[in-house]
Structure 1
């Protein structure tokens, strides 16, 4: 019986993952800013602990981790899910808007991870699941600031995977494409107030596409949750898990473009190398 610690568990992907873990017979510490908003009906009450947690409040994080270990004795899986989006061109979004999304998506995620890692280290076992996005691997017009937060998460996660592997701690970065959650509504998506008309053909198109996609995404949250449980149960989980065929195609296009650039500019790449200066003793 694993113990899961999930941020942003009151809705969307976090709630779906919590339900899937409970359905497997595991214990779940479900956290959200407002613990009363966590509605996970059905499980045995002794396997569910709902706690308030604001990822931007370090004291709140510490209290939740302590309460989780006091209740269940351990944490086996940390799911860093809390976060929100920011839609707007790089030139359009303000410093305050960018800082706000970084505070939650990056600094909050790192703070929760740092608080849980001592528990996993003591156990010499555990799994950290970072809910990123296909936008954490491939940037897209209108999503630059959001992409920046997820790229940061992925870089930190790659480093953490190397650091924690000798301690028995695994790391998986989950990169979903479009899923039918509330991510594209006002509760989870911040839209930059400034609009520059010169970007109408690019970012303007993205705004229209996002509005049309809301509620019509191909991905089902419950299927993502099942995939996360499958990965956690596997003794050799991947570092990256792309979820959704469209997300995979987008990631493959980036890899192909990168390889094409590597090949086309190989001569310039190699030309900057210099033979090391040899000194005589």
Structure 2
């Protein structure tokens, strides 16, 4: 078994997943690059024939998930970092979106991540070593109109990961949430609207629709993040024996999450006035 750290990164064909894989390989670590589109991954892996393995996989397919974990462990002997990065998004108001689309969002963003970490954990537990890295989003903390199902899938991943780190830390493992802001990863070209527009939502989710329709003009505003820099920071944080359970990436993520924290604090403080009144009365 190799002593070099081994990473398995899903969604490695483009965006932050691809840039993270590239940076990790450049740092001398081993990487299993996993995604449906193999072309860009093969080009990267060709530069690192001894330390890179490309696996074409649909993460929603149970047999392909099992094969992915098996091939990673057969090639490198272990998985030290599982990075659940694969993700999709459909935009539109809750009432507008098609059921088949929002169910697919959960299949990729949540259920696939759950099943992959469940497959990776036995090997990690046996070695008492390993880290699960679940790629959430600032949308997993603070939702926006027009992006409810993506946010809901990331909220679910956040809740799951909070439980996960409490379950696995006693056996020497780690679980980390990554909460990026908007990075220029090409996701704008892969994100589609679902369903038919309803005029009553023009002033809420309709604003999102118009922004994405003019994404070329607004690109610098909507996507302030550089994924290559994010990959460098993420690698540094994940390999420096982190104590944090959450890693926030991007100035826009910091602003949006801070606003959510302020709103939550205000509601929490207001609830102090009546929350305890719902308890059973104590006997005098």
CA contact (8 A) 1:174 1:243 kept: yes
Within-5 A mapping of 1:1-281? 1-38=4-41, 39-40=43-44, 43-185=47-189, 187=190, 189-213=191-215, 215-216=219-220, 217-275=223-281
Question: Are the structure 2 counterparts of residues 276 and 20 from structure 1 closer, same or farther at C-alpha, using a change threshold of 3 Å?
Answer: farther
- State the alpha-carbon separation in 2 of the partners of residues 44 and 191 from structure 1: 38
- State the alpha-carbon separation in 1 of the partners of residues 283 and 17 from structure 2: 55
Deviation of 1:37 (Å): 4.3
- State the alpha-carbon separation in 2 of the partners of residues 52 and 42 from structure 1: 15
Root-mean-square deviation (Å): 1.6
- State the alpha-carbon separation in 2 of the partners of residues 98 and 53 from structure 1: 21
- State the alpha-carbon separation in 1 of the partners of residues 175 and 15 from structure 2: 22
Deviation of 1:193 (Å): 2.2
TM-score by length of 1: 0.94
Q: Which runs of 5+ in 1 are unaligned?
A: none
- Any idea what SS the aligned residue of 2:174 has? strand
TM-score by length of 2: 0.93
Count of residues in Structure 1 that have an aligned counterpart in Structure 2 = 276
Deviation of 1:122 (Å): 1.1
Question: Are the structure 2 counterparts of residues 268 and 17 from structure 1 closer, same or farther at C-alpha, using a change threshold of 3 Å?
Answer: same
Deviation of 1:98 (Å): 1.2
CA contact (8 A) 1:231 1:238 kept: no
Question: Are the structure 2 counterparts of residues 57 and 277 from structure 1 closer, same or farther at C-alpha, using a change threshold of 3 Å?
Answer: farther
CA contact (8 A) 1:84 1:190 kept: no
- State the alpha-carbon separation in 1 of the partners of residues 45 and 99 from structure 2: 41
- Any idea what SS the aligned residue of 1:45 has? coil
Deviation of 1:276 (Å): 5.8
CA contact (8 A) 1:33 1:54 kept: yes
- State the alpha-carbon separation in 2 of the partners of residues 143 and 91 from structure 1: 12
- State the alpha-carbon separation in 1 of the partners of residues 236 and 228 from structure 2: 12
